[in-house]
Amino acid sequence: MTFQVGDKVVHRSFGQGEVVQLDEKELGGKSQHYYVVEFPQLTLWVPVNGAEQGSLRLPVERREFKKLYEVLRSPGEELVEDRFQRQVQLSERMREGSTEELCRIIRDISARSVEHKLNENDLSVLRHAQSLLLDEWQFSQGISLEESRLQLENLLQESREAAQLAQLAQEDPPA
């Protein structure tokens, strides 16, 4: 994918940014082109070609973003019980970097919090995923951070209610 100066982009680790410049740098005797991306707290040089270029994507469009609400309101999927395995599992899922996967991570950790006390890693991943999602949510939907946070919480409440209904149906199947 080719980005232009002025494009709003999403980095899988740093969230929403803007391509402010195309630059060429020489490192180790090799010249390479970079996107210079500004984020609220830092400026990052992302190679135009190569594996790191895949860390950038365009923000999800407004209509497409609303389809993600279904992911957030659906019952969470169970995470691995062992905290070390769960840490690896969540790290791998975060690396994927798509908005849909962020929604799944938030939904699944939130569902886990109903039955279990979250450890520091779970909380850290949850906070980071929420920060990335809410940043994109604001931009995509053209709403405030508070509005996006409220919408997220309402969808997660629907997810918890769907999970409770599913659990009740398993415990007391219809005759």
Judge if 53 and 96 occupy the same domain. no
Q: Does residue 1 fall inside a structural domain? A: no
Which ranges of the chain would DSSP assign to H, the alpha helix? 62-67, 69-73, 83-96, 99-115, 120-141, 145-171
Judge if 93 and 141 occupy the same domain. yes
State how far the Cα of 166 lies from the Cα of 90, in Å rounded to an integer.
24
CB 35 within 8 A of CB 19: yes
Q: Does residue 15 fall inside a structural domain? A: yes
Q: Residue 79 maps to which CATH number?
A: 1.20.58.1290
The per-residue pLDDT of the chain, averaged, comes to 90
Overall average pLDDT of the 78-87 stretch: 95
Overall average pLDDT of the 27-31 stretch: 86
Q: Give me the number of domains the chain comprises.
A: 2
Q: Does residue 22 fall inside a structural domain? A: yes
Could you tell me which of 143, 165, 152 has the C-alpha nearest to residue 71? 152
pLDDT of 134 over the 80 cut: yes
Judge if 31 and 102 occupy the same domain. no
Place of tokens 């659990």: 167
Overall average pLDDT of the 73-90 stretch: 94
Q: Does residue 132 fall inside a structural domain? A: yes
| pLDDT of amino acid 55 | 85
Judge if 52 and 103 occupy the same domain. no
In terms of residue numbers, what domain contains 53? Answer: 8-57
DSSP secondary structure letter of residue 61: P
Judge if 101 and 139 occupy the same domain. yes
Place of tokens 């569902």: 111
Overall average pLDDT of the 9-37 stretch: 91
Confidence band (pLDDT; 50, 70, 90) for 175? low
pLDDT of 10 over the 60 cut: yes
pLDDT of 21 over the 80 cut: yes
Judge if 51 and 66 occupy the same domain. no
Least confident span in 99-103, 143-147, 168-172: 168-172
pLDDT of 51 over the 60 cut: no
Judge if 90 and 46 occupy the same domain. no
Overall average pLDDT of the 72-92 stretch: 94
At 89-127, the pLDDT tens digits run 999 999 888 999 999 999 999 999 988 999 999 999 999
One DSSP character per residue, 63-76 reads HHHHHTHHHHHSPP
